[in-house]
Amino acid sequence: MAKKELQVSAIENGTVIDHIPADKLFDVINVLGIAAMENAMAFGTNLKSSKLGKKAIVKIWDKFLEDEEVNKLALVAPSAKINIIRGYEVVEKKMVNVPEKVEGIVKCMNPKCITNHEYVRTKFDVVNTHPIVLKCHYCEKLTDEKHLEII
């Protein structure tokens, strides 16, 4: 393939989430809630990447992700890079930062936790970032990266 030939077509305005590990594409879609958006979107997966081996990419037309949304990505795809596109040009690249608190995205790994038995939104403090360790606001048990499950 020619060097500048894109594997998924270029967009005029919107957000491109690039360098997603191929097996994390569906987690990214869940975390950002983009399944419910009405914008035009394109997804690519198992694309070639020199850094990751295989990567996935998400393009959302006419959507400019806010930092808060971008930071949710840190939980599932810390390697992701966010590109803001205007007039076909990349005008901003955002890195993903791990947030201080995580609400309603992740399941508490303690089977006895109230959040696993009643309709209570999960809530965690981030106690470590690399690797991610979350402390449950309700049962105080830790959920680590290996057990991190997206709701």
Query: Which residues sit at the interface with Zn ion, rule CB under 5 A?
Result: 108, 110, 113, 136, 138-139
Nearest approach in angstroms of CB 62 to ligand CTP is 13
Residue 85 contacts which entry, Zn ion, ligand CTP, none (Cβ below 5-8 A, type-dependent): ligand CTP
Residue 83 contacts which entry, ligand CTP, Zn ion, none (Cβ below 5-8 A, type-dependent): ligand CTP
Residue 81: C-alpha distances to residues 38, 57, 85, 141 (Å): 23, 10, 13, 31
**Choice between 8 and 142, CB closer to ligand CTP:** 8
Q: Which of 15, 25, 32, 59 binds ligand CTP (CB under 6 A)?
A: 59
Q: 81 pairs with which residues across the strands?
A: 18, 95
Give just the sign of the alpha carbon dihedral 67, 68, 72, 74. Answer: positive
Give the CB-nearest residue to ligand CTP: 10
Please count the helices (runs of H) and the strands (runs of E) in the chain: 2, 9
Order of strands, sheet of 81-86, starting from the edge strand that comes earlier in the sequence: 41-49, 53-61, 14-21, 81-86, 89-95
Q: Which chain residues interact with ligand CTP by CB under 6 A? A: 6, 10-11, 16, 18-19, 57, 59, 81, 83, 85, 88, 90, 93
